[in-house]
């Protein structure tokens, strides 16, 4: 799975749980497939950074009702690969 497919899969899973708003999407296919996805979900910023070289996805969350630029994000988890289970999303989004 590449980062664009991950984005589609993630958005389908999130939309089955709650509403969301895309804040930033950046994909570098010629740089190991690195990418950044940022969403506003339930008033909080959720940032997903993918390091294609190491095959690591890191998830950060901001405080409620803070704008994306300037928000101090808190580390949530690191996942090997580009798969987040729906149950993991439900647990972290609620």
pLDDT tens sequence across 30-67: 878 899 999 999 999 999 999 999 999 999 999 998 88
Contact indicator for 76, 60 with CB cutoff of 8 Å: yes
Q: Which residues, at least 6 apart from 20, have a Cβ–Cβ distance to it below 8 Å?
A: 11, 14, 39, 40, 41
pTM across the whole model: 0.91
- The structural domains of the chain, with segments of one domain joined by +, span 3-93
């Amino acid at each position: 799975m590449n980062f664009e497919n991950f984005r589609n899969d993630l958005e389908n899973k999130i939309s089955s749980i709650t509403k969301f708003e895309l804040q930033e999407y950046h994909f570098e296919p010629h740089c190991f497939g690195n990418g950044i996805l940022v969403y506003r979900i339930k008033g909080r910023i959720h940032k997903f950074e993918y390091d294609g070289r190491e095959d690591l996805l890191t998830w950060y969350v901001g405080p409620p009702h803070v704008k994306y630029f300037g928000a101090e994000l808190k580390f949530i988890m690191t996942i090997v690969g580009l798969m987040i289970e729906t149950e993991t999303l439900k647990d972290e989004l609620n």
